[in-house]
Structure 1
Amino acid sequence: MSAVLARAHCDGADRLVTADEPLAGLQLRCGGELPGTIAIPALFELVRKSRNFGLKLARTIRANDGNEQVTAWIEVDPAENGDCSISILSWQSASLPPEDIAAVAAHRAAIDRTVAELSARLDAGQRLLAVESQAADLTELTAVMRGGIGQPWTDFVSIEGNSHRQPLHWRLLDGAAVRLRGSDRNWRVSLLPQEVPGSEPIGFELCLVAETPLATPEPAPAVPGGDSVMPSNGPGLVGRDIAPVLRQPIARIIANAETIRTRLAGPLAEEYSQYAADIAAAGQHLLSLVEDLADLEVVESEDFNTAPDRIDLADVARRAAGILAVRAQERGITLDAPKHGEHLHAIAEFRRVLQVLLNLVGNAIRYSPDNSQVWIRLEGEGARARVIVADQGPGLSVEQQAKVFEKFERLGRSDESGSGLGLYISRRLARAMSGDLTIDSAPGQGARFILDVPADLLASAPTTAKQDDDQQPGSSQD
């Protein structure tokens, strides 16, 4: 049995907690920290495999730190709690030729792609093309960024210690510390250029890497007149196994199609640019369908519930309008949301109310005529608090109103927009929050979708805006 040259230990989050030399030095020279996430790609992969298989694995790994090429024989022994013991049985190093230094950047890029909790594709001007994230504390930011496709990514983050006009040159932003909306964690920027020899980058991959771990969620606060409730429903087959596997490749299809459509990869005939636009649109539809199916699985589970809290419906409505503002502007549609200073306090789950309002406002934009208006109004009455979304669409008949909340109901539409699940899921969410979602409409007179939830009777009296009598509601049919 070979003598152990050095030992190391990593936890279940792939963080190298302790390490003897020479591994400790290599970890630091590869851009990592001690303790910190394993920064040596080959070792990171070996640890992951050992933990996933639950087996002790031993093999040769190769790594370089920009100056030396290291070849080492490593044994990884996983424990039941996810920790892994690492033993180094041999270690050889040799100086790298100058041309191999570029491999260091590739290794660091591989690490950042692996550990990034938000990824985005950017064009040459650092404008957003596609965004993907599964981090719980980045849900709202991801939705906002997706609603701001075409804007510089720097519009959505706070760059610490930098008040210069953004975006700066990408080399100045690479490695910058940032704060993200909705997250208490510290984050680092990694900008990976798509380069063509002899020219400036034609696009970028943005990776946001957490410098601090995500805190364990605390129990939900007590609801006046009731007990604390935490969602006990976990993801099922779609949400646990299928959706996570599909999201990334679909997002890459969309991003690559957008790169082709916008001719970032080079000149392209107009008809092929249109083909790429069709691919991107179909990819967006497929991604939305995957998300809807995952949500459907959750809301139909027997133990589904929500985490009620004291929220301001006016604030949620303004956020929904802000997220969808760009989409509305593209068609000349005005979103009339509650003004700053308006409040309507309620007992509901912020994230679920935002999800419902994004569906209602998004549908109103989709089915309203160009250059029309969508209203988001507040209404408080006794123990109930309501948000009303109305537009100037074609309206729905009594028969259509009876079907609009049914699963997979698309009211005979033959286009590719919508899955027919949005309103079904939204009503299930509303009822899980002790509320309801209803419709008031007539053909040719638009429609008003009304989200009703319990009012927060312990908060101050609601301040709402009065809806003009001559306003025309619109229809939302997804």
Structure 2
Amino acid sequence: MNVPMASPGTIRAISDGADCLVSADKAIAALQLRCGGELPGTIAVPALLEVVRKARRYGLKLARTIQAQDGSSAITAWVEVEPIAGEDAGCEILLRNWQSAPLAAEDAAEAEERRGEIDRHFAELTARLDAGQRVLTVEAEGPDLAALAAAMEAGFGRPWTDFVAIPGNHQQPMHWRLLDGGEVAVPGSTRSWRASLFPQQGLGEEPAGFELCLVSRDLPTSVLEVPRSKPVPARDRLVGREIAPVLRQPLARIIANAETIRSRLAGPLAEDYANYAADIAAAGQHLLALVEDLSDMEVVEADDFSTAPDRIDLADVARQAAGILGVRAREKGITLDPPRAGESLPAIAEFRRVLQVLINLVTNAIRYSPEDSQVWIRLEAGDGEESGRARVIVADQGPGLSEADQARVFEKFERLGRSGDGGSGLGLYISRRLARAMGGDLTVEAAPGQGARFILEVPADFGSAETDEGALPPPAEPDQH
């Protein structure tokens, strides 16, 4: 390989025909590792990877200024990339005028937030954890994660680290900051995995819980292989249980790449193009949400669909739903008022399905409520003929619903004439099907201009400690417009 030597003060690296760094001077090697890459490994600096790809693809020498962030520093350099002669050869990379400056506090926070958004889109397994990192719920995609998801579902209440292998000899339990961003090995999977932990805000300094994401740099080998071992029923043909994961993978990557471009993490970009990227990301998110809703719809409409009832505390589930959506509410200036600490309402229902319904109800309340308003989540124990029921009420200060709209709002694909709000018209339909599958119901009380109260009702749990109805505050009424 005949490659000219780098001049003094120049940082030099070599990539191969697959855009992997195979050798690099100390500065670029360190940046590669800080950005989550490996050496040798695919170039992990987005701006540099883009220049290398173009130079190799077109067989031209390219030069430009690039910008990069490694979480703590903002780096600027002049890069020259020249393809190396030969079939499937890589490129010589020279970086000059390397400058590094600490990120401002707000820039670091924004970079961390963006990392979280990208990891959530790439994640193939997500789980909700309590403050002790014990598993509460889990959802997974990909055939090589099925065994892990099943083990975690069977082991609700155990630390998530019990189900994966962490390289090295570590004394458990480990602090979440030591686990965040670390490599984990998944039994039954040959792919490499990275764990991302997102703390949920608590009353004190310590997190009240976590969102766990497992992210792999490798696509599953079977992502485009749809099993054909048995005929696909007619009800599955719209999206299908096998087709949905195939759609999620490319959509998630489109969204993540668009977000990377929009936030200028890959380098400087004109405002118009950043706006285009934002439109692409928003459209991708809408389409991904539609795929998820269609997949859920087909699950709840299946003849063999059933839930797994257990003893749960509706107050605890409601508080978790509020914690999950707290950031979204604050972005719109909306105050969430969940059940107070110490409130309890035992019920018989499937934890993750109740959480799914409440997240949908609170999301809708946030979406359709005005800024600087309030959303209440209240508990109510049945009495008289309804003494066998336990209820969670989500009340908002939105535009409310007419009597005719109240009858239509739970219908499939019904959006009441709204458009451009990101909804699919399936959320409430799915939520009611879930509620009824658990032996309960989902209803609404509303009036135009007076907000809405969505009431989730499930069987009460008389086997737990007796509930004191007097200890439960009455459902809060939204202020009338």
TM-score (norm. length: structure 2): 0.56
Q: Does 1:323 align with 2:336?
A: no
Q: Say whether residues 1:411 and 2:436 are aligned partners.
A: no
Structure 1 residues 278, 467: closer, same or farther in 2, change over 3 A? Answer: farther
Query: Residue 128 of structure 1 corresponds to which residue in structure 2?
Result: 116
Q: 1:165 to 1:378 in 2, by over 3 A?
A: closer
Equivalent in 444, 458, 472 of residue 453 of structure 1: 458
What SS does the corresponding residue of 1:457 show, helix, strand or coil?
A: coil
Q: Percent identical across equivalent pairs?
A: 62
- Match in the other structure for 1:375: 376
Q: Measure how far apart 1:275 and its partner are.
A: 1.3
SS at 2:394's partner residue?
strand
In the superposition, relative to structure 1, how do residues 343 and 467 fare at CA in structure 2: closer, same or farther (>3 Å)?
Answer: closer
Post-superposition offset of 1:190: 3.6
Which string of whole-angstrom CA distances, capped at 9 and with x for unpartnered residues, describes residues 192-229 of structure 1? Answer: 9xxxxxxxxxxxx97369xxxxxxxxxxxxxxxxxxxx
Count of paired positions: 305
Task: Pick closer, same or farther for the CA change 1:424–1:369 going to 2, 3 Å.
Answer: same
Aligned AA for 1:367?
Answer: Y
CA contact (8 A) 2:127 2:139 kept: no
Shift in Å, 1:239: 3.7
Query: Partner letter of residue 117 of structure 2?
Result: L
Residues 81-96 of structure 1: matches in 2 within 5 Å? none
Residue equivalent to 2:478: 472
> How far did residue 133 of structure 1 move?
4.2
TM-score, normalized by length of structure 1? Answer: 0.56
Deviation at 1:123, TM superposition (A): 8.2
How far apart are 1:241 and its partner, in Å? 2.2
* Structure 2 stretches lacking a partner, 5+ long: 1-21, 23-37, 44-68, 72-110, 129-135, 141-158, 197-212, 218-232
Q: What is the SS of the residue equivalent to 1:129?
A: helix
Return the alpha-carbon distance in structure 1 between the equivalents of residues 176 and 195 of structure 2: 18
Matches within 5 A, 1:434-449: 434-449=439-454
Partner residue of 2:265? 264
Residue identity opposite 1:437 in structure 2: L
The C-alpha deviation readout for 1:160-179, integer Å capped at 9, x for no partner, is 669889589x9xx544799x
Q: Distance in 2 between matches of 1:428 and 1:191?
A: 33
Displacement after TM superposition at 1:346 (Å): 0.5
Within 5 A, what are the aligned runs for 1:390-429? 390-429=395-434
* DSSP 3-state at the match of 2:363: helix
Q: Are the structure 2 counterparts of residues 470 and 206 from structure 1 closer, same or farther at C-alpha, using a change threshold of 3 Å?
A: closer
Within 5 Å, which residues of 2 pair with 1:231-242?
Answer: 236-237=236-237, 238-242=239-243
| SS class of match (2:405) | helix
Aligned to 1:284: 285
Tell whether the 8 Å contact from 1:393 to 1:473 is kept in structure 2 after alignment.
Answer: no
Q: Cα RMSD over matched residues? A: 3.9
CA offset at residue 268 of structure 1? 1.1
CA distance in 2, matches of 1:380, 1:462: 8
Query: Which of 215, 234, 251 is the aligned partner of 1:207?
Result: 215
Amino acid at match of 1:408: F
Letter in 1 for 2:390: A
Name the amino acid aligned to 1:432. Answer: A
Query: Is it true that 1:307 corresponds to 2:308 in the alignment?
Result: yes
Aligned partner letter, 2:330: Q
Structure 1 residue 473: Cα displacement: 7.0
Residue 249 of structure 1 corresponds to 250
Per-residue displacement from partner, 1:351-402 (whole Å, max 9, x unpaired)? 1111100100000000001011100000112210000000100100001101
- Counterpart amino acid of 2:424? S
Change (3 A) 1:458 1:471: same
Residue pair 2:401, 2:446 contacting (<8 A) in 1 also: yes
- Distance in structure 2 (CA, Å) of the matches to 1:425 and 1:262: 34
Q: What residue is the counterpart of 1:386 in the other structure?
A: 391
Alignment of 1:117-266 (within 5 A): 124=71, 125-126=111-112, 127-130=115-118, 131=120, 132-135=122-125, 140=137, 166=177, 174-175=182-183, 190=194, 207=215, 236-237=236-237, 238-266=239-267
Residues in 1 aligned to 2:381 and 2:300: alpha-carbon distance in whole angstroms: 27
Deviation of 1:342 after TM superposition, in Å, equals: 1.0
State the distance in 2 between where 1:274 and 1:369 align: 25
Give yes or no for contact 1:368–1:474 (8 Å, CA) kept in 2.
Answer: no
Distance 1:473 1:400 in 2: 21
Quote the Cα distance in structure 1 between the aligned partners of 2:338 and 2:404.
30
Q: Is the 8 A contact 1:448 1:474 kept in 2?
A: no
SS at match of 1:267: coil
Change (3 A) 1:314 1:431: same
| Correspondence for 1:150 | none
- Cα offsets for 1:97-121 (capped at 9, x unmatched): xxxxx875459xxxxxxxxxxxxxx
CA–CA distance in 2 between the matches of 1:340 and 1:469? 16
Query: Secondary structure of the equivalent of 2:241?
Result: helix
Distance 1:427 1:474 in 2: 27
The 1:189–1:243 alpha-carbon spacing in structure 2 relative to 1, beyond 3 Å, is: closer
Shift of the 470–333 alpha-carbon distance from structure 1 to 2, 3 Å rule, reads same
Match of 1:60 in 2: none
Q: CA deviation at 1:236?
A: 3.5
Q: Name the amino acid aligned to 1:456.
A: D
Q: Which residue is 1:148 aligned to? A: none
Q: Distance in 1 between the 2:302 and 2:185 partners?
A: 40
Deviations 1:393-425 (A, max 9, x none): 010000110100000000001214200000001
Which AA in structure 1 matches 2:447?
A
The 1:457–1:208 alpha-carbon spacing in structure 2 relative to 1, beyond 3 Å, is farther
- SS of residue in 1 equivalent to 2:117: strand
User: CA distance change for structure 1 residues 191 and 421 in 2, over 3 Å: closer, same or farther?
Assistant: closer
> Post-superposition shift, 1:301?
1.3
Match of 1:360 in 2: 361
CA–CA separation in structure 1 for the residues paired with 2:443 and 2:175: 48
Q: Return the offset for 1:267.
A: 0.9
Alignment deviations for residues 265-321 of structure 1 (CA, whole Å, 9 cap, x no partner): 111111211111111111111111000000111111122211111111111111111
Asked whether the equivalents of residues 404 and 411 of structure 1 are also in contact (C-alpha less than 8 Å), the reply is yes
CA contact (8 A) 1:374 1:474 kept: no
